[in-house]
Amino acid sequence: MMMMMMMMMTMIIIIIIIIIIIIIIIIIIIIIIIITWWILNRWLKSGDIKGETESTIVAVQDQANSTNYFKNKILKEETESKCRLCKQHKETIDHLTSRCPILAKNEYLMRHDKVCTHLRY
């Protein structure tokens, strides 16, 4: 009977230790998530972006830049919606940032190389 009580006490102690270890691991994971979130989002709070830059980013994101397509379809101006460079496709943000055959010759590669200079390992 005494042996049985000792075994039960030992098992209870082992279970309590395992629960404490699991709680510590969960706390460490939460701390890592909070630190990572803070590091990734601190630029938002620092305010390092100029007002003009932020407004341009928002306009591009909303596809509200003054492209020929935007002028023709949204502002209803009497302008051609074709790209000013290649004169083949509609001049949209998507076209200018990734599909224009004229820009594909040099500009996209230069943009790619410029981004790569900022990557750190």
Tokens of 70: 């935007």
Instruction: For tokens 């492209």, name the residue.
Output: 67
For residue range 13-40, what is the model confidence (pLDDT) as tens digits?
A: 999 999 999 999 999 999 999 988 887 7
* Structure confidence at residue 98 (pLDDT): 85
> How far is Cα 97 from Cα 94, in angstroms, rounded to an integer?
5
CB 68 within 8 A of CB 79: yes
Q: Write down the domain spans for the chain.
A: 12-47, 49-121
End-to-end CA distance of the chain, in Å?
62
Q: What is the pTM of this model?
A: 0.48
For residue range 38-69, what is the model confidence (pLDDT) as tens digits?
A: 877 776 667 677 778 778 888 887 877 888 98
Cα-flanking dihedrals φ and ψ of residue 90, to 5°? Answer: -65, 135
